[in-house]
Chains A and B, each alone.
Chain A
Amino acid sequence: MLHTVNASPFERTALTCCLAHAVNGDAVVLIEDAVYAVVKGSTASAEIVAMTEGVDLYVLGPDLAARGINRAKLIAGITEIDYAGFVDLVVAHTSSQAWL
């Protein structure tokens, strides 16, 4: 399953909840304000680092760029994708769930 999260982890619990439900083989895409979660050293990033083994984490590059988040600031193990990559992920998973 593909999960999408679009809210800042400092404002909403969506990311926490999502990670709690993601299981081995799932993928999580962070879009819109959720991309703030991937900045190294933030409290939210700890959660991401601690997440289930076997869950792939992606972040939408255009949203990072818009928010001025430098790639160097990204925590390790995260894949940056563009909209086309997002589409590929949707296609690659039989179902998707948005954590709003």
Chain B
Amino acid sequence: MSDTAIAPKIIKKFLYVNRKAPYGTIYALEALEAVLIGAAFDQDVSLAFLDDGVFQLTKGQNARAIGMKTVSPAFGALGDFGVTRLYVEAESLAERGLTRDDLMIITHDFENGTTGEVPSIIVVDRARMSNVMAEHDIVLTF
């Protein structure tokens, strides 16, 4: 992409906040597109999932019957792009009757891909989520 040629010196912390469920609206899909591009810029990229956004990560999604593309498998590839932190809010899961086990297993290679895989999903409580948000330079909401 030609417009990626920018001054690479600055590295900012980008947080992509996902608060919407997949399929019903396009936000989840187009947010993911933006995440992948952001990662390609060598920026420090994290994702946050709260409220209905946690539904984006549930297991067993299959959108074939509604004629759409299933979004969730793409999260599995995030590790390859260096996106290794997917913060999920515990309260949001609980409110929706979900547990950590309902979520997909998403991992990334441990340093240089030598010794096995590390889970990417980090379940945090609400207070910690507030801190995560405050820690980032850019908060992009979709």
Taking the complex as a whole, does A directly touch B, i.e. does some CB pair lie under 8 Å apart? Answer: yes
Interface residues of A (CB under 8 A from B): 1, 13-14, 17, 20-23, 94-100
Question: Which residues of B are found within 8 Å of A97, using beta-carbon distances?
Answer: 17, 133, 139, 141
Q: How many B residues are at the interface, by size bracket?
A: 10 to 19
A95 touching B139, Cβ below 8 Å: yes
B137 at the interface (CB under 8 A from A): yes
Question: Which residues of A are found within 8 Å of B50, using beta-carbon distances?
Answer: 17, 21
Closest chain-A Cβ to B84's Cβ sits at a distance in Å of 21
B138 at the interface (CB under 8 A from A): yes
Partner of A21, one of B129, B136, B137, B142: B129
Partner of B141, one of A1, A22, A23, A99: A99
Question: Which residues of A are found within 8 Å of B134, using beta-carbon distances?
Answer: 1, 23, 95
B141 touching A20, Cβ below 8 Å: no
The 8 A CB mask of B1-29 against A (1 = contact, 0 = none) is 00000000000000001011000000000
Alpha-carbon gap, A58 to B88, bound state (A): 29
The 8 A CB mask of B121-141 against A (1 = contact, 0 = none) is 000001001110110111101
Question: Which residues of B are found within 8 Å of A1, using beta-carbon distances?
Answer: 133-134, 139
B42 at the interface (CB under 8 A from A): no
B51 at the interface (CB under 8 A from A): yes
Interface of B is mostly: mixed
Closest chain-A Cβ to B71's Cβ sits at a distance in Å of 18
B141 touching A95, Cβ below 8 Å: no
Closest chain-B Cβ to A12's Cβ sits at a distance in Å of 10
A100 touching B142, Cβ below 8 Å: yes
| With A22-B130, A23-B130, A100-B142 as contacts: A17 and B137 at CB distance below 8 Å | no
Question: Which residues of A are found within 8 Å of B139, using beta-carbon distances?
Answer: 1, 95-97
Q: CB-nearest residue of chain A relative to B137?
A: A95
Closest chain-B Cβ to A55's Cβ sits at a distance in Å of 11
Most buried by B among A23, A97, A100: A97
Most buried by B among A1, A14, A20, A23: A20
